[in-house]
């Protein structure tokens, strides 16, 4: 079960400390090493990852990504760190074994969903998001906000679950691994996580 209250609390705490800081600053302050390296531009290329070895946390980021995508991926990985997804690990990559299921039988990763909710909540201002979706359709609002439509969908589902934007339904059937193949609202490819 996704803990929306925890996500909101962690984002609020980080915003209070860092404002709209670059995610690299947050990761450095949290003691995570950042490994920046080219990992390809293909659709199935690794976008980012987080690993823990003993007490050392390393976040890897694909430098072949556009800067806007890099920040989304880094906030996603920051979400894993801040939400405690690595707690209990001595070493190894994050392995999410807590899956839920959609009505069509496809698996949902709780950790990936939580990290996506965290990133969308941190990046998208609530008031600006609500104003955009009141003025535009979903795809035009995403374009206006300069985010992939999947990112906007996560933010709206988060707001709905928190009672701020009641009645919103998962219009896109976005899966927990949606950041792997994100497209911007204008159709251009934005390689997320």
> What letter does residue 180 receive in the DSSP assignment?
G
Band the pLDDT of 193: cuts 50, 70, 90: very low
> What proportion of the chain, given as a percentage, has pLDDT over 70?
76
108/112 Cα distance (integer angstroms) = 8
129, 95 contact by CB (below 8 A) = no
Q: How much of the chain is helix, strand and coil, in % rounded to 5?
A: 45, 15, 40
Reported as a single tens digit per residue, the pLDDT across 81-94 is: 999 988 865 555 55
Band the pLDDT of 20: cuts 50, 70, 90: confident
Band the pLDDT of 189: cuts 50, 70, 90: very low
Rounded to a whole number of angstroms, the CA Rg of the chain reads 16
Looking at residues 132-161, what average pLDDT do you find? 92
* Token pair 């996704």: residue: 2
43/48 Cα distance (integer angstroms) = 13
Q: Which of 49, 123, 125 is nearest to 92 (CA)?
A: 49
Angle between helix 149-161 and 4-18 (nearest 10): 110
114, 2 contact by CB (below 8 A) = yes
166/76 Cα distance (integer angstroms) = 25
181/31 Cα distance (integer angstroms) = 29
Please classify residue 140 by burial: count the beta carbons closer than 10 Å to its beta carbon, then call 0-12 exposed, 13-18 middle and 19+ buried: middle
User: What confidence score (pLDDT) does residue 171 get?
Assistant: 57
Please classify residue 94 by burial: count the beta carbons closer than 10 Å to its beta carbon, then call 0-12 exposed, 13-18 middle and 19+ buried: middle
Backbone angles phi and psi of 137, in degrees to 5 = -70, 170
């Amino acid at each position: 079960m996704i803990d929306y209250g925890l996500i909101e609390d962690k984002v609020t705490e980080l915003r209070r400390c860092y404002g709209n800081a670059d995610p690299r600053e947050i990761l450095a302050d949290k003691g995570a090493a950042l490994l920046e390296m080219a990992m390809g531009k293909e659709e199935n290329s690794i976008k980012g990852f987080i690993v823990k070895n003993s007490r050392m946390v390393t976040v890897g980021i694909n430098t072949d990504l556009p800067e806007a995508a890099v920040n989304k991926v880094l906030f996603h990985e920051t979400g894993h760190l801040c939400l405690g997804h690595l707690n209990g690990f001595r070493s190894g990559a994050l392995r999410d074994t807590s899956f839920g299921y959609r009505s069509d039988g496809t698996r949902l990763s709780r950790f990936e969903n939580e990290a996506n909710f965290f990133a969308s909540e941190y990046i998208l201002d609530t008031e600006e998001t609500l104003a955009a979706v009141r003025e535009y359709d979903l795809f035009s609002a995403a374009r206006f906000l300069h985010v992939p439509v999947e990112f906007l969908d996560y933010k709206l589902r988060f707001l709905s679950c928190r009672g701020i934007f009641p009645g919103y339904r998962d219009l896109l059937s976005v899966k927990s691994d949606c950041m792997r193949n994100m497209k911007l609202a204008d159709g251009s490819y934005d390689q997320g996580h």
